[in-house]
Structure 1
Amino acid sequence: MTETSTAPKRRGRLVRFGAALIVLFSLAGYFAARHMPGGGAGPSGPGCEVVASGGRGEPARYEFTPEQAVNAATITAVGTARELPERAVTIALATALQESALRNIRYGDRDSLGLFQQRPSQGWGRPAEIMDPAYAAGQFYDHLVKVQDYADLPLTVAAQEVQRSAYPDAYAKHEPDAELLAAALTGRSAATLTCSGPSASDAPARPDAVRAALARDFDTEVLGKAAAEVPAGRGAGARQADARQADARGTGGAPGRVSTAGSRESAASASPSPAAARTVTVPVAEPGARQRGWQFAHWAVANASDLGIERVTYGGRSWTADRGDWRKAGDDGSRGTHGSPGSDARVSIVTSR
């Protein structure tokens, strides 16, 4: 056989080999995302962690990226907005840790997508819906609450009743981390979630973006009547597009804005001080207010890199992006609204511009 006749065959083998490598690397990425715990931050990038004292011995600790923190906070917010118990949040977080490592991935087994690897072909929703973290979390909870006595079941059993995974025992190994995250992100464990490092360069960094994200992750009443102007039913997956539009308009396009006292004012009202103009205040005057307040405070810290948040103050404590930890409010000149440092009645969120 001549050399020219064998050349096409060699090229064909090289093409097939290259295609096989691409498939192999794609599968490796999928399994890394599915099975790799935490993830932490890059050498110079921002990072988040939850640290809670366990009494004797070393404190419990979980390190993850801002992207993972945002997704975990959204999953938690959707659950608490439905008044589900912390156990439901723990189950949801453990499931997302197993399925995607809390990353909103666009690939998976067959047509699986998103945080929970939900499949459009199995009735979980359209691909664009499943890629919305708030929608995906809502779908998970919709199925979880149909499981009889789910809160009393072993976590892996409850998760498997929803997911029908080929690895039914895999969820159990994430239970300790999920419990730690749930305690912080529901606010039960105060001042335990911190994030540090620079904000994203394209972060919206406007109060309107923070209000929109709060309303979508929790509900339209979280900021009072003015928050109802945010379109309902749209989840956290749409926040960046909406926030950039608001940033381009300068006002977010809303007819009014929420003042630092939580009331609605017209755009024609007197201009507030520069600090007040960058502040979003979340009222927490309700039963269980202190825990609810810490949930909002931790949510804001988790979203700091995504939304350009530079300071969060609540319950006598203050977190700033440049320090990355919680300290006594007022030590750095930060004060709560109406001049009271770290009021328990409201969470103060200040954007960088």
Structure 2
Amino acid sequence: MYSARDLADAAGLGSAGGLVTKVAAVGAFVVLMVVVMLAPFGARGDQVSAACPPGAPGGANDPQIRGPLRVVQISYARIIDKVAADRGLPGQATLVALMTALQESQLQNLTYGDRDSVGLFQQRPSAGWGTVQQILDPVYSAEAFFGGVNPPSPPGLVDIDGWDSMPYTVVAQAVQVSAFPDAYARHEDTAREIAEEAGIDLNRAGDPYAGRSGPRPVTTVAPLTAAPANAQCGGGLINGRPIAGNWPTEQQSVPDPTGTGGMVTPRTAAWVRAAQAALQRPTMSCWDAHLWNPTSDHPLGKACDLFVGGDGRKLAAARAKGDQIANWTIQTADRTGVRYIIWYGRIWSARTGQWREYNGGGVYNPTDATGGHYDHVHVSLY
């Protein structure tokens, strides 16, 4: 476990100058230590927040946590970031870790949890993460979350190929294997706020696979950009960058891997396989005759619809899922040949790298759940 000196340094109290400053720092540290000692023994008051979407544990950027508990969160955030920085990991790794710890423990070093889960990341001794005593050491638990050559055996962040190009919630789920895979995204805003208060640079450059054993992926794509500050339950939609790739025309020569019975292009089939692997096999359909819209890319085998489970305007979980699909598609578009995306009343073009309002293309009612693409994400490829 961290010592009192370690926590004081993490809280930025170790270098307080001047008598008045030192007295104030000591007072703040006393409050900090009281909360650190009490926090593991039960959630009370402002430690409890409403779930979003319904049924999932944890909070969703709301209500705002202030006071002693926020001081504790900042202190643990600094510890996690120091582990990442000492390894040479980028600030993006710290962001994923903070989002994960917020969902799992409200960024507290809990001595209890679901079944035998404990600690900042609610890691389980029975799943091979280490002993209870080890997991309750914030440095050990952060090292375990980031993964690499050292024990424990469950794969951590650096062991996941291409993690730095995936939606944050997908990466967190790959490490945690949670019953609520979409829950992590809703903590991005709070994680960024805590990082700012803690003086953590989330844009810090680094090696995304620092400490990894074995071969590394040949290529990765640019990290996700910041989500809108007011985004809730899904992190919001990101922009990309204009893509000027050369994508030769392909013929429909491959059976549609989504099982429609139609034929798609090799590029579309390859995109489906990548999406299934990265997005945990979402429900999707590609080829379709689309008799009401013969100019569609579906009958040409160059488009897929990915269904989010309902109207994203009404269901937070559906909105979050759609955002995750769209963001991953944007971040991989330069190597998959994506031409445009339609989701949540907006259309993204690889030519501009930007989102704009979607008007239905003269075919669909943009206010309808399906016509406006609020219940599915449309992806067209070159």
TM-score bucket of the superposed structures, by smaller chain: 0.3 to 0.5
TM-score by length of 1: 0.39
TM-score by length of 2: 0.37
Higher fraction of strand: 1
Structure of higher RCO (CA pairs closer than 8 Å, 6+ residues apart): 1
Higher fraction of helix: 1
